[in-house]
């Protein structure tokens, strides 16, 4: 950065810091973000990038800008009279006991629990389901502010050892340690620079497989592109420097590797991804033979192949090969030619999203119009029964081993927190194992599913949750949420912050957009690359449907989304600023021309395409949130949220977007950015920070949408 620019930035931020607590005028005075003459040329097209300097998260100028923006945002939010009451109610709602899905390994059960307001959930063991829990790991004791989170763990086959990963301040980087389950004490083993990986123990409990990247420099730790994933084996009691490199491809920098030891301990199955595509390559290694080679099994990268389990040399996979909604096949590794593959479960009208083998049965989770449906089949593919679920919602879990007679699952919906059920595999009966109690009256609210028509005639589902008896007169404050990407389905889920919104008379709508995984790979591909505009059309059509059907009006309609959903909000805000009364883009991918240059951003080109490609550049340039902001436009109130340790979608996306939108705003509506400290993309965020952010978001909506307090 030039000395002239540095002086300009520091001067403007200093002036703002002095005035940060002053009374806000009708039209806010934002930090005077300096501009440079940076111009890039893409396929003959010149694109200005005047806020490029904000990409340097380590510079004093960027840090001063962040502080200045946070001062303005905090002053505005703290001036909302209702915020204190909102935070108080959110804190009370959040204070309920909740559990993770238990599982058994060896002679012990393992389960996580949060007593309500703990920053991080605590891991316990049980000698029996009705026994007193024994503390195994409390992440809350690892940091004073709750910003060290348990990011993953794996239990050895006998249940006596636990490998576990820790993430600090929300970063994707993890450090893995090993704990003796019986004593609760850590062994000296320490594994560093792990990212996008779990751990998988060998049957003998002498070590585990994991994946990592090479050690980055400290300066580039949160921004440098991540390439050359490598699969290692760590033997207990040895330093990481002696870990055996099991598999990597130095000729393929974009291939990621994930090792999984089969339940019988015989094979190491290596799944390889490239970008965020659901397609996979699969390799395996026979662990019963010393120095056995890694054998290629599926290398065409032509479909998804998700390993389920094995029956000796026969591997079962969920695949979308010639079945965009999924099917289950068997591949005999002794004769792996495609002519010998056998179909166990054919494609149906519903989409398969998960398959497990428990009690020598396939437990298959389907999506039927974005809601869960679970069926049980024998190993020959014959239907045994359907698991009776308590309503419209999402079910997950059903883990276990071939010999287990029980499994556990959770069920949740927009008004029902995650209830944990024990399922008896022999009788097919479900019993409640843990049921949270929240200070909320779910009987007063209802969720319905509607279908609306997008711009090109596509039928799109949407869930709407409201207070029973709501008047459809166009006056209801409404929050519309969407995602639409990476083959990820958006299914009914419980949210404390949404409960508070409903209590304030709000409507909560969730649109199941193309690009997601609700209807399989065809639905996903219809919202990718050159077809990405379909996602925005679907979201805009959802907003128009809510207005047409008198749920709300444009001035009362807010939109929200995070990550790829933040991109969604930014794109539709540019395309239809007249349709929305407020916007909440969170940790969004806003600079579509440079996203692939940071951390794991290159992996998203499988969904987005890349500005390096001329045709894809043209499509991306047409909707990129940063590059389609038009000066002189009256944009609706917008609260942008990001975090300083987000190394998934680096905060520069939101920094540059906020600066550009503030400079372009022609109206008096606020354009604010809230930058969380010691936090990342979202995973592992402590409860205290979640409550503060939820209070800020709702206070913003209450003021900008003129929401009236609930009647007592």
The residues annotated as belonging to the active site are: 563, 681
Rounded CA-CA distance 14/240 in Å is 46
On whether the CB atoms of residues 556 and 531 are closer than 8 A, the answer is no
What are the backbone angles phi and psi of residue 698, rounded to the nearest 5°? -70, -35
How does DSSP classify residue 263?
T
What are the backbone angles phi and psi of residue 128, rounded to the nearest 5°? -155, 160
On whether the CB atoms of residues 225 and 602 are closer than 8 A, the answer is yes
Indicate the SS3 state at residue 308: strand
Indicate the SS3 state at residue 25: coil
Structure-block tokens of residue 363: 């437990």
Contacts by residues 57-61 (CB-CB < 8 Å, ≥ 24 positions apart): 57/222, 57/223, 57/644, 57/650, 57/651, 57/652, 58/219, 59/1, 60/6, 60/10, 61/1, 61/5, 61/6, 61/9, 61/10, 61/13, 61/34
Helix (H) or strand (E) run with residue 43 in it: none
Could you please report the per-residue DSSP string of 649-700?
S-THHHHHHHHHHHHHB-SSS-EEEEEESS--SSTT--HHHHHHHHHHHHHH
Strand-strand pairing, 314-319 and 327-332: antiparallel
What are the backbone angles phi and psi of residue 570, rounded to the nearest 5°? -60, -40
Rounded CA-CA distance 104/344 in Å is 28
On whether the CB atoms of residues 645 and 679 are closer than 8 A, the answer is yes
| Strand ranges for 195-313 from DSSP E | 200-201, 207-212, 230-235, 244-247, 255-261, 267-274, 281-286, 295-298, 305-311
On whether the CB atoms of residues 591 and 657 are closer than 8 A, the answer is yes
Place of tokens 């960027």: 62
Indicate the SS3 state at residue 550: coil
Rounded CA-CA distance 267/93 in Å is 46
Rounded CA-CA distance 564/501 in Å is 23
Sheet-wide strand order for 314-319: 305-311, 314-319, 327-332, 342-345
How does DSSP classify residue 117?
S
Could you please report the per-residue DSSP string of 467-482?
ETT---SS---EEEE-
Structure-block tokens of residue 335: 């004769």
């Amino acid at each position: 950065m030039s000395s002239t620019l540095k002086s300009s930035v520091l001067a403007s931020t200093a002036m703002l810091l002095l005035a940060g607590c002053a009374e806000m005028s009708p039209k806010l005075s934002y930090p005077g973000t300096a501009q440079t003459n940076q111009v890039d040329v893409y396929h003959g097209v010149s694109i200005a990038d005047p806020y490029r300097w904000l990409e340097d998260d380590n510079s004093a100028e960027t840090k001063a800008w962040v502080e200045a923006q946070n001062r303005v945002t905090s002053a505005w939010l703290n001036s909302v009279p209702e915020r204190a009451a909102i935070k108080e109610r959110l804190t009370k709602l959040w204070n309920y006991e909740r559990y993770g899905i238990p599982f058994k390994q060896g002679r012990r059960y393992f389960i996580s629990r949060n007593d309500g307001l703990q920053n991080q959930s605590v891991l316990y063991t049980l000698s029996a389901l009705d026994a007193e829990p024994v503390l195994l790991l409390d992440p809350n004791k690892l940091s004073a502010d709750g910003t060290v989170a348990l990011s993953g763990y794996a239990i050895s086959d006998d249940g006596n050892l636990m490998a576990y990963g820790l993430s600090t301040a929300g970063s994707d980087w993890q450090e893995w340690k090993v704990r003796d389950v019986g004593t609760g004490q850590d062994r000296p083993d320490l594994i560093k620079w792990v990212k996008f990986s779990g751990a998988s123990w060998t049957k003998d409990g002498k070590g585990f497989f994991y994946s990592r990247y090479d050690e980055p420099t400290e300066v580039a730790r949160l921004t440098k592109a991540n390439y050359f994933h490598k699969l290692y084996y760590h033997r207990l009691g040895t330093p990481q420097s002696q870990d055996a490199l099991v598999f990597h491809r130095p000729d393929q920098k974009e291939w990621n590797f994930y090792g999984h030891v089969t339940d019988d301990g015989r094979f190491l199955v290596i799944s390889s991804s490239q970008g965020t595509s659901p397609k996979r390559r699969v390799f395996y290694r026979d662990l019963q033979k010393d120095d056995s080679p890694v054998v290629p099994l599926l290398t065409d990268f032509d479909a998804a192949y998700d390993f389920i389990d094995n029956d000796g040399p026969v591997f079962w996979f969920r695949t979308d090969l010639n079945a965009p909604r999924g099917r289950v096949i068997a591949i005999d590794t002794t004769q792996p030619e495609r002519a010998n593959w056998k179909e166990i479960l054919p494609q149906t009208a519903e989409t398969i999203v998960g398959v497990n083998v428990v009690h020598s049965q396939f437990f298959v989770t389907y999506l039927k119009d974005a809601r869960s449906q679970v069926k049980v089949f024998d190993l020959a593919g014959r239907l045994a029964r359907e698991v009776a679920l308590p309503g419209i919602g999402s079910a997950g879990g059903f883990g276990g081993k071939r010999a287990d007679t029980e499994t556990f699952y959770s069920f949740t919906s927009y008004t029902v927190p995650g209830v944990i059920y024990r399922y008896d595999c022999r009788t097919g009966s479900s019993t409640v194992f843990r049921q949270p109690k929240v200070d909320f009256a779910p009987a007063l609210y209802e969720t319905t599913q509607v279908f609306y028509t997008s711009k090109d005639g596509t039928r799109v589902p949407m869930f709407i949750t409201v207070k029973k008896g709501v008047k459809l007169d166009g006056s209801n404050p409404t929050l519309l949420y969407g995602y639409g990407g990476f083959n990820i389905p958006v299914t009914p889920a419980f949210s404390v912050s949404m409960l508070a919104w409903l209590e304030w008379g709000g409507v909560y709508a969730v649109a199941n957009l193309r690009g997601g995984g609700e209807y399989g790979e065809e639905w996903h591909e219809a919202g990718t690359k050159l077809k990405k505009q379909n996602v925005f059309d679907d979201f805009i059509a959802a907003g128009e449907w809510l207005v047409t059907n008198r749920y709300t009006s444009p001035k009362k309609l807010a939109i929200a989304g995070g990550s790829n959903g933040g991109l969604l909000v930014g794109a539709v805000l540019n395309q239809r600023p007249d349709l929305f009364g407020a916007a909440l883009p969170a940790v969004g991918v806003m600079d579509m021309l440079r996203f692939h240059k940071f951390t794991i951003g290159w992996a998203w080109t499988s969904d987005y395409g890349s500005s390096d490609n001329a045709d894809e550049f043209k499509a991306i340039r047409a909707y990129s949130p940063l590059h389609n902001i038009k000066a002189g436009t009256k944009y609706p109130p917008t609260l942008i949220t990001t975090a300083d340790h987000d190394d998934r979608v680096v905060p520069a996306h939101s920094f540059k977007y906020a600066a550009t939108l503030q400079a372009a705003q022609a109206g008096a509506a606020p354009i604010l950015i809230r930058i969380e400290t010691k936090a990342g993309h979202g995973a592992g965020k402590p409860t205290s920070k979640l409550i503060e952010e939820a209070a800020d978001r709702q206070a913003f909506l209450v003021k900008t949408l003129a929401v009236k307090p609930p009647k007592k």
